[in-house]
Amino acid sequence: MNLIVDVGNTQVKLAIYYNNQLKKKLVGTLDNFETMIARLFQEYENITRAIVSSVGKLKTSQIKFLEKKVKLLVLSHELDLPFTNLYTTPETLGVDRIALVSASVQQFPHKSVLIIDAGTCITYDFMTASNDYLGGAISPGIRLRYKALNQLTANLPLLETRKPDTLIGDSTQNAIHSGVVFGVLNEIDGIINAYAEKYSDLTVILTGGDAKFLSNQLKNSIFANSNFLLEGLNFILEYNSQ
């Protein structure tokens, strides 16, 4: 039984996998990390292995807390990975992106795959049909765009994310919603189209915190999977346990 720990920029996700099946998922913050871990170990006594992916700041004490309970693997670019990493600076490739690419290898073998993770940032990662990871792109996510308009200007308000009523914003608030949301949608659709022109067999995965909000508004056909990163982490743990 595997424990999956994903520490992102804003949330901590914990998951239990058994025979590659998701049995439990918890979402919280670093403040209640140890409480959530203890709850899972109380509920599942047969946890034998764990993997940690941390783009946020997981404390050394929290790592040691886990090591006392289970055999622990900390994800980095130096691990044995199920793909060829052609990133020119592999040491700077985020562990979240490594996990997403690994999931694509497991679930879509021998296919060209574009993984779009719509969270704090929007990341684009591309895997070729020959199992080569080429790289991708990073851009501001939806909330970053709303916050930037508020924090880097004198008079624009900070708004909650909302689907625009119309393309043409007839007020400052509506104009912000139109600019942010349609800007993101057109960016994603445009990038998908650019990849599809070059790779006719392209499969597109959309994941991340804003995947549900965006999926029904995109023009292109995509597979939406909110647990794609967790599935990738579980695959890496299994891959390094053979």
Which residue has tokens 């942010």?
180
Q: Which two tokens stand for residue 83?
A: 């793909």
Which residue has tokens 């997981």?
58
Q: Are strands 49-54 and 2-7 parallel, antiparallel or unpaired?
A: parallel
Catalytic residue among 6, 96, 117, 210: 96
Report the C-alpha gap between 184 and 92 in whole angstroms.
25
Q: Are strands 121-127 and 132-140 parallel, antiparallel or unpaired?
A: antiparallel
- 125 included as an active-site residue: no
Strand, helix or coil at 100? Answer: helix
Query: How many residues are present in the chain?
Result: 242
| Crossing angle (nearest 10°) for helices 183-198 and 142-151 | 130
Report the C-alpha gap between 207 and 34 in whole angstroms.
26
Catalytic residue numbers read 96
